[in-house]
Amino acid sequence: MDTKIQQKIDKWLSGNYDEASKEVIRKMETENPDELADAFYKNLEFGTGGLRGIMGIGTNRMNKYTVGMATQGYANYLKQCFTGEISVAIAHDCRNNSRDFAEITANVFGANGIKVFLFESLRPTPELSFAIRHFGCKGGVVCTASHNPKEYNGYKAYWDDGAQMVSPHDKNVIVEVEKIESTDDVKWSGGESNITIIGKEVDELYLEMVKGLSVYPDVCKAQHDLKIVYTPIHGSGIMLVPQALEKFGFTNVHIVKEQSVPDGNFPTVIYPNPEEKETMSIGLKQAEELDADILLGTDPDADRVGVGVKNNKGEWILLNGNQTALLAFTYMIEARKAKGIAQPNDMVIKTIVTTNMIDLIAEKNNVACYNVLTGFKWISSLIKEKEGKENYIVGGEESFGLMIGDKVRDKDSVSAVALICEMAAYEKNKGRSLFDKLVDLYVEYGFFKENLVSITKKGMNGAAEIAKMMEEDRANPPQKFDGIAVEKLLDYELQVGKNLLDGSEWKIDLPKSNVLQFLLQDGSVISARPSGTEPKIKYYFSVNTPLASADEFDATEAELDAKIKRIEKELGV
C-alpha cells in the first residue's frame, strides 16, 4: 500500500469515526486491498458544483463524513459572506442514503447557527432552486447524483440566486472545504431548533409558477385528452410532474407503473438516464401499446427530460437533447410572437455544445441568442447579469435540460414536461405532430444532426488519461475531418480562437473551461470536453446539410449519420 494512502487509512482507524466504518476498512484490508486503495487515494473533490462519487467508506467516497466536512466548509464560507440571519434550503432525491445525507447536512448547518428549510421527503432539484428564491435563502444543497448509476450519490451546492455557484464563490467555497481536515472540525449537532420542515405549501407555490409558464392554456383545454405516457424512472419526478400536467389541464396521463415507485436501486434500469433507449424501453413499449401521443421521462432528481414521439413511419423513437431543445426554443419564440406577448428585448441562452440551429432560428425571429459554457449555472449567471436589461424566456443544453422562465435557476424537467405536452397539444390541434414540426424546421433552416460519444476512464489513472487526450488534441489539432478542412480552433481553456487557414487569433470572452472546438469549412463542429461530474471525456459531433423536402428526410438523415461515423472513426472514438 502506498505510504500516503496508508496514512489516510490509519487516520480513519484511529480517529473519531464509527466502529462499523472501521470494521469495513479492516475487512477490505484483507479481502480487497485494491478497492481500499481507491477509496482512500485522494479526497473526494468538492468541485465547482459540489460533490459526486461512489458511496462507501473512505476519503474518496460519498459518506456521512465527507458530506459533513463539505457542509462545515460551506457553512464557514456563508458566514464569511453574509451577516445577520443566514438561511439555506435542503432537498434530496430517491437515491440510497440521500435522506440521511440531507439530514446530516441540515444538522451541520443548524449547529453552525444557520436557519434550515428542509423538505419533508424527496423533491425534484428545480423545486430546491425555487425554494431558495422563495425563502430568500443565501444558499442551498440538494443531495443527488442526477442520472449516475445507483452506486453514486452527490451534493450540489447553490447560491442566493437559486443557481449553482460561479466565480468567485465556487472557488472560494472549495478553499474553505479543503480547510476541514478532520471530522473533529465539524459541528455535527446542537442546532436542531434551527431546522424547519417544509413540503406541500412550497409544492403548491411551485406548481402555480409552472402553470403560469403556459403560453396557450386554451389549446391545452381543447386537447385535454392528449394521450401522455410518463415515467419518473423511480425518481422524484413522481412528486410533481403528474400534478403539473393536471394544472395544465391534461386528463389522459398514464404513469409507467413499473417505474413509478421511488427506489434508489433503480431495479428496472442500469442507468437511470432518460437519454438511454434501454432506460426508456418500458415507457416506449407502453406508449406503443396505448397508441399514445407522446412519452416523457425524467431522471432521479427530475432536472432532465427525455421525449419519445412517433416518427414519419409511425415508429416510436427518442428525440435527442438537441432536438428537444430545438423544439422548445422554437415554440417559446414563435408562440410568444403569435400570441402578441413577445418583447423587443427577449433573449434565449444555450451552451456552446448545443445545436447552432437554435442560433439561426433566434436570428430569424429577431431574438438575441447567447452561448455560454456547459452547465446551467452559466445560463443562470448570464440571466443575473442581464436582469433589468433583457427578458429571458428559455435556456437549455443538449444534455436533456431546459429552463423555462427565470423563477427557477437550474434545469427543470417538471416545467419542461408540462410545456412539451403543451407543444404536442398545439401541433395536434393543427392535425400534426411534434415530429412533423421538427422536419419542417429542418426544411426551413437545414438538417442539423448531432451525436455524442462518451469515453469512461475510471480509477486512479483515469483523470490523467483524460488530461493527456485533451492535451494531445490541443498541441496537435487535426487539420481536417472527412476531407473537410478545420477552419477554426476554439480553445476555451486558453480563451483563444485561431483561424488555422490564415493564422489569425482572437480572444474568447468566456470563463476558462477545458473545452476544444473544431469548426470545419462546411459548418460541421466537433467539440471535446472532460465531464465535470463523471470520469468521462465527451466528444460532440454536429453536421448539417440542406433538406429539400420532408420526403427526403430519411435519405438525408442516413447521409449525415454516415458522415458522423466517418469522423468518429478518424478520431478513434
The catalytic residues are: 146
Angle CA 257–263–265, to nearest 5:
115
- Give DSSP secondary structure letters for 428-470: HTTT--HHHHHHHHHHHH-EEEEEEEEEE--STTHHHHHHHHH
Q: What is the largest CA-CA distance in the chain?
A: 72
Secondary structure letter of residue 548 according to DSSP? -
The 3-state DSSP class for residue 545 equals: strand
- Give DSSP secondary structure letters for 177-244: HHT--SGGGS--SS-GGGEEEE-HHHHHHHHHHHHTT-S-HHHHHHTTT--EEEE-TTSGGGGTHHHH
- Grid cell, residue 326, equals 430545438
- Rounded alpha-carbon distances, angstroms, from residue 307 to 88, 229, 336, 361, 547: 33, 10, 23, 21, 23
- Rounded alpha-carbon distances, angstroms, from residue 12 to 22, 60, 286, 299, 540: 7, 13, 50, 35, 42
Distance CA 69, CA 65 (A): 6
Distance CA 433, CA 306 (A): 17
- Rounded alpha-carbon distances, angstroms, from residue 121 to 99, 159, 236, 412, 509: 8, 22, 9, 18, 42
Angle CA 400–235–96, to nearest 5:
120
